[in-house]
Amino acid sequence: ETGVTQTPRHLVMGMTNKKSLKCEQHLGHNAMYWYKQSAKKPLELMFVYSLEERVENNSVPSRFSPECPNSSHLFLHLHTLQPEDSALYLCASSQVAGGSYNEQFFGPGTRLTVL
């Protein structure tokens, strides 16, 4: 599959569970992003990685832990989440992080429900 892929597409977890979201980009980009999309709220930038180095962390609770092992893969590790963390989590990639004008390509998202 081309573009940006995310797995799983849907996830239901309890507050005591530990799970991980995975994102993979097949575009040769060197920057990757995690966003949270909640109903009637703007897209919230959570984390940015440029060349596998975290360059942005938008005051995200520590129960969300990102990992970027290489420029093509991005993970979001989840533990002890709260019901208000239920949302669509979108991954995106771009050619260069910040600096110049870069189109972001989004993945299809993971619909997360925390019970």
Partner 1 sequence: GENVEQHPSTLSVQEGDSAVIKCTYSDSASNYFPWYKQELGKRPQLIIDIRSNVGEKKDQRIAVTLNKTAKHFSLHITETQPEDSAVYFCAALTSGTYKYIFGTGTRLKVLA
User: What are the residues binding partner 1 (CB under 8 A)?
Assistant: 4, 31, 33, 40-43, 45, 48, 50, 55-56, 58, 90, 97-101, 103-109
Nearer to partner 1, 16 or 101 (CB): 101
Which element (helix H / strand E) includes 81? none
3-state secondary structure 17-55: CEEEEEEEECCCCCEEEEEEECCCCCCEEEEEEECCEEE
What type of residue sits at position 113? T
Nearer to partner 1, 16 or 59 (CB): 59
Query: Nearest approach, Cβ of 85 to partner 1 (angstroms)?
Result: 19
Nearer to partner 1, 79 or 111 (CB): 111
Separation CA 105–CA 115 (nearest Å): 30
Query: Nearest approach, Cβ of 81 to partner 1 (angstroms)?
Result: 23
Name residue 10's beta-bridge partners.
Answer: 111
Query: Nearest approach, Cβ of 103 to partner 1 (angstroms)?
Result: 5
